[in-house]
Structure 1
Amino acid sequence: MVLSRRQMLKALQLRSVVQKVEVEAEKLGALVEELQTRGSQLAEDVTKFDAHMDRTDSRINARVAAFKRTSARLIDDEQTAFVDMRQAWEARWAETHNTFTHHLQYRAPALLWNTKGQEHRKASRRAFIAFLAVLVLTVVAAALVVFCFGDFVAESFSTIRCDPDTGICETAFSFKGPVTVGGLLLVASMLIWAMRFFSKIYLSERHLALGCEERKAFTEAYLALVMDNSVSREQEAIVLATLFRPSQDGVIRDEDPSMDISAAAILAKAMAGPRS
């Protein structure tokens, strides 16, 4: 059987098409194999990614839980610290308020005792100056009596009396001498009494000034102890009783006034009369 030329051309074309189809089929098979390989690799990668995501989720959940625990602990610590700080601030405020109140309460007595101490100091200086003045006056008066009026005092004990009938003069005792000596003794006793009086005033004012200074120092020391919280409420009553005890004023009384033998003291005793 002889094929025509056209049939041969068609057969050749068909053969070339078949060859191309086979080549494309081979390529398609290779592509399918490659796709299968990539699919299996992709499935393996997806499995690994899922496992990695599970591990990542576990780590994230663990970190979130740890963060929550840390946050809760920090919040509790901050709240506790804030409460402690508030309580400490309230305690310090109360302590400062109490200290300031005590300072105001005891500052006025301290100033009062300081003022009284200064007044007593001035009074003691004035009394001491008066004592020195009376002492100098007594010494000067005694010197004047001895050196200037000694002869006059000595001559006052005698007087010259003359008889007009006989014309005879004689020396006789005169009462002017005892009166003069008595007057001098009275003046001397008054000066001595004045010296004793001013000395007692000086000692009294000095004693009161020292007492005021002691109370002032005691008050300032008490304020310092209050600032250091060294004085309790139980001890405060003792401190207050010591601070606000009655203070004495005036002249110190003699322990044994019977020993005063001056004329002024004897006259004062006579005018006062017997004691009951």
Structure 2
Amino acid sequence: MTNVTACIDGSSASPAVCDYAAWASLRMEAPLNFLHVLDKSEYPAQSNLSGNIGLGSREALLEELADLDEKRGKLALEQGRLMLEAARERAIEDGVADPATRQRHGDLVETLTEMEEEIRLLVIGKQGRDGDSVGEHIGSHLENVVRIMHRPILVTTPLFQEPGRVMIAFDGSATTRKGVEMVASSPLFRGLPCHVVMVGAEDADTQAELNWAKETLEAAGFEAPATILPGEVESVLCEYRKEHDIDMLIMGAYGHSRIRQFLVGSTTTSVVRSANVPVLLLR
């Protein structure tokens, strides 16, 4: 059975990751799995220090440094285990019956690639372990995850707020059409108003695409206000979100243009970086 998988790293974003993952798990009636990956590049399983010590150093010093690295790795694994247990307890308090935990020592992207078939929704924090806000390139882990995953990815904000209304950034592309159909059929957003916003020039083609999205959502029982607005994508989406008290943004992990190329690093990155609400990225 596919599950909601939440990546826990001990950052200030982790509590919100837990809460959004629990919310999604309950709404979707899907199992919840918390994942902690100890980065092998930072905490190697075995250390080779022979090239790091100058000539004349004693063998005992090499052994001592190796022992320190081993202890550091063990402490980090234990810290991760405690974080997972805290996340599990928090999810149970949120109402999830039996959340699972999983810990790996390796690479986050490789681990998620291996697990992809069992993931229905991936939940990951917007901030890194250092607590800094999302930077110019989203953050290497998040950007790499978005590049390789073919599952919806919910990028959370540092504070949890249960969504009351959501918005789809729609451009008529196959990705965003799939997103409309996903929202229409998924229990995740059932009962919530779902706004549909297109950014660009209004003409017969864009109006027809917008009408399709609106009608698809309304046929599934959604209240679906829909509009086409001129301007620059990021600023238009931001202003609309503020004006209508949108709690979650849904968008494709592609540029909002007729060029169907992957644009993490431009439009997608800018919107994720500037949004102070969670963003659900679709592939």
Q: TM-score range by the shorter chain?
A: under 0.3
From the two aligned structures, give the one with the greater strand fraction: 2
TM-score, length of structure 2 as denominator length: 0.20
Q: Please, what TM-score do these two structures have when normalized by structure 1?
A: 0.20
Q: Which has the higher helix share?
A: 1
- Higher radius of gyration, 1 or 2: 1
